[in-house]
Amino acid sequence: MPSLAPARKYGKCLSLGVKAGIEYRVNILFSIAGAISPVVIQTALWLVLYAGDPGAIMFGFTFPQMVAYTVIAQLVTRIVRTGFEYDVNYDIKSGGLDRYLVKPIGYFGFRIFSFLGDKLVQGAAIGALLAVSVVVMSTALGFATTAASVLLFVLALFLALAMNFLLFWCVSLSGFWLTEIGFLFEAVRIVIVAASGGILPLAVFGPDAERALKLMPFRFTIQFPTEVLSGRVPPSEMLPSFALCALWLIALAALGRVVWGRGIRRFAAVGS
Amino acid sequence: MAIIEVEHLCRSFDYYEKAGGIGGSIGNLFSRKKLVKEAVRDVSFSIEGGTTVGFLGPNGAGKTTTLKMLSGIMHPSSGEARVLGHVPWARKKDFRRRISIVMGQRSQLWPDLPAIESFDLNRAIYEIDRAEYRSTLDELVAAFAVEDQLKVQVRRLSLGERMKMEIIAALLHRPSVLFLDEPTIGLDIVSQRAIRDMLRGLNARFGTTVMLTSHYLSDIEDLCERIILINHGSVVYDGALSGVNATLADRKTVRLVLSEKLDESRLSSFPGYKSSDGSTAVFEVDRAKVREFSRKALDALPVADLTIEDMPLEEGIARLYRGEAPDA
């Protein structure tokens, strides 16, 4: 009979993340508050753009659909946002990585389960807000979703979390070669948020750019789950999209493994 | 049976020379001179199971680098090592379950968690049976008298409290090999003694193999029957602690307490003069000539008291650091 010990080990890491999430609950409030201003600014922008013709369709969106997209995308952005990359960089830079290397636990496993634990708390809080937003938008904007869309959204959101984790995991491992990478994280975050449809729907960038961006992994972090909940993904595209998402997850996990293997050989903890 | 085997282990680090000032910083943007530091050079030794070995050397000698390689944290540049039959840097799970490392200058605990949470996390990580964990923890907590600090965040503990927690965390899974890198650094005498007592008991009861670095010779004298001295990355002495001063056995320290202050020029005219603060003078004298030296000193100097001592261990170690072989 297989041992349950490894599951308990990583379950403990998950519970650590949950505890951290609860302990830093004020942080969740700030995260939600941080979502308000982009929503207000973007809604104001769309109000101006749609003002001349309230029934217009821009980039495939009516005005109510665009506002709904803006709200959902912002909340999804908050849910999938990472922060562990700073811890990874600090562990590499300060030598704190030692504490994981000498113990029978994988550092990747520790980080991803702590991250998911933390996200369980944030996800519950922001998810509740999202549910309220959906109810409000269905009344005010005629937003409609289905039970199937909600279920697929939950799956897409879980994959979005994994995708964002792997993207930032790979970036954070550059700490093995570069000493100061705080700005790199921010630069990458801005590019990913833009390329994932977190600021504007990808259609805004034009058909060619949209086609190219749809093949990249970034849209699976924000736009894809947002569109799944909004019912904007045609049934014929659903399975291929999930399959592409899974392929990118496998590719990024493999890339992370290779980079980790090379980086750890370079690792020279401070002090001699 | 050798539990730790090290052969021709080397580790070098690349670093860059940086000129001072703004000009230097700007110049550095365009060209940097790469330098190589050989932290560990061709180190070889083996350690039998159940022994406690002191691993000594001045700052920057390569002690911590060697321990990091032996605990699997760091890869060597070249050479080989086996600990418990494993290549440490392969970091096999069985190897990691059977070793522990405590570093005085770097915490192995999670600073944001209370110590008890870190212990519980270690229980899960090392897959320790709950009843066994409970009894080991109770025993260690009682030995160190840290029950009141268990629920305090590690970052809020004093250095002494933290070190005790570090050692508890390192011992929960009853490791076969324990690497200790300056575990008593910065601690008061009571805490140092508590840690030494714990380590002595551990070695006696469980036959744990311990490799210890420390700048406090009391740690070494209390715990180690054998020492390995390393300097500039190379082993300069490997043998019994008693052997360090073997060549100094024919030397004695003669300490004179003077009834009046004397100029150094007058004291230094005596053979073997080492140092003086005006009222006390120290001489290093051949054992065979101690009687003659004492008679001359008593006749020629205003001596209020005279003591004759063996050469201190520090002196023997300092000589080895300077590259003077013990049988020189």
Of B96, B106, B113, which has the smallest distance from its Cβ to A98's Cβ?
A: B106
Mutate to test the interface with B, among A87, A99, A179 (most CBs of B within 10 A): A99
pLDDT at B245 over 50: yes
From chain A, the residues in CB contact with B103 under 8 A are 98
pLDDT at A161 over 80: yes
From chain B, the residues in CB contact with A99 under 8 A are 107-110
Contact B125 A104 (CB under 8 A): yes
Distance from CA of B166 to the nearest CA of A (A): 11
Q: Identify the pLDDT of residue A268.
A: 58
% chain B with pLDDT above 90:
43
pLDDT at A94 over 50: yes
Query: What is the token pair recorded at B267?
Result: 């004291």
pLDDT at A125 over 50: yes
Q: Count contacts between A and B (CB, < 8 Å).
A: 72
Contact B124 A272 (CB under 8 A): no
Highest average pLDDT, of A6-10, A177-181, B70-74, B219-223, comes from: B70-74
Angle between helical axes of B159-171 and B115-125 (0-180°, round to 10): 20
pLDDT at A21 over 50: yes
Phi-psi region of B85 (alpha: psi -120 to 50; beta: other; left: phi over 0): left
Let me know if A127 is exposed, middle or buried by CB neighbors in 10 A (0-12, 13-18, 19+).
middle
Distance from CA of A63 to the nearest CA of B (A): 47
Helices (H), B9-108: 21-30, 63-70, 93-98
Q: Identify the pLDDT of residue A271.
A: 38
Quote the CA–CA distance of A190 and B246 in Å, as a whole number.
68
- As for the ipTM of the complex, it is 0.78
Q: Identify the pLDDT of residue B141.
A: 93
Residue where the block lists tokens 């390393």: B230
Say whether residue A96 is in contact with chain B using an 8 A CB cutoff.
Answer: yes
Structural element, H or E, at residue A137: helix A107-140
Say whether residue B140 is in contact with chain A using an 8 A CB cutoff.
Answer: no
pLDDT at A76 over 90: yes
pLDDT at B302 over 50: yes
Q: What is the mean pLDDT of residues A211-215?
A: 94
Confidence grade of residue B111 (pLDDT, cut at 50, 70, 90): confident
Q: Identify the pLDDT of residue A77.
A: 92
Say whether residue B74 is in contact with chain A using an 8 A CB cutoff.
Answer: yes
Query: Which residue type sits at B106?
Result: R
pLDDT at A272 over 50: no
DSSP output for A42-61: HHHHHHHHHHT-TT--BTTB
Q: What is the mean pLDDT of residues B289-297?
A: 90
Interface of B with A in 47-66 (CB under 8 A): 60, 62, 64-65
Confidence grade of residue A2 (pLDDT, cut at 50, 70, 90): low
Mean pLDDT of chain A: 89
Q: What is the mean pLDDT of residues A89-117?
A: 91
Quote the CA–CA distance of B271 and B321 in Å, as a whole number.
24
Q: Which of A76-80, A242-246, B126-130, B287-291 has the lowest mean pLDDT?
A: B287-291
Residue where the block lists tokens 């994988």: A106
Query: What is the token pair recorded at A90?
Result: 């600090």
pLDDT at B272 over 50: yes
Nearest alpha-carbon partner for B115 in B160, B149, B158: B149
Quote the CA–CA distance of B140 and B164 in Å, as a whole number.
9
Q: Identify the pLDDT of residue B176.
A: 95
* Beta-carbon count within 10 A of A39 CB: 16
Q: What is the mean pLDDT of residues A198-220?
A: 93
Residue of B nearest to A98 (CA): B73
Q: Identify the pLDDT of residue A1.
A: 53
pLDDT at B61 over 90: no
Q: What is the mean pLDDT of residues B65-79?
A: 93
From chain B, the residues in CB contact with A100 under 8 A are none
List Cβ neighbours of B265 (8 Å cut-off, separation of 6 or more): none
Q: What is the mean pLDDT of residues A141-148?
A: 88
Nearest alpha-carbon partner for A176 in A83, A271, A97, A106: A97
Query: What is the token pair recorded at B123?
Result: 């229980």
Condensed to tens digits (0 to 9), the pLDDT of residues B150-205 reads 999 898 999 889 999 999 999 999 999 999 999 888 888 888 888 898 888 887 88
* Beta-carbon count within 10 A of B232 CB: 16
Of B73, B107, B126, which has the smallest distance from its Cβ to A101's Cβ?
A: B73
Distance from CA of B302 to the nearest CA of A (A): 49
Confidence grade of residue B109 (pLDDT, cut at 50, 70, 90): confident
More confident residue, B6 or B61: B6
Whole-prediction pTM: 0.81
Q: Identify the pLDDT of residue A26.
A: 78
Quote the CA–CA distance of A43 and A63 in Å, as a whole number.
9
Condensed to tens digits (0 to 9), the pLDDT of residues B115-132 reads 999 999 999 999 999 999
Let me know if B189 is exposed, middle or buried by CB neighbors in 10 A (0-12, 13-18, 19+).
exposed
Of B39, B99, B109, which has the smallest distance from its Cβ to A272's Cβ?
A: B39
Say whether residue A105 is in contact with chain B using an 8 A CB cutoff.
Answer: yes
Mean pLDDT of chain B: 88
pLDDT at B27 over 80: no
Q: Identify the pLDDT of residue B1.
A: 80
From chain A, the residues in CB contact with B117 under 8 A are 16
Contact A98 B60 (CB under 8 A): no
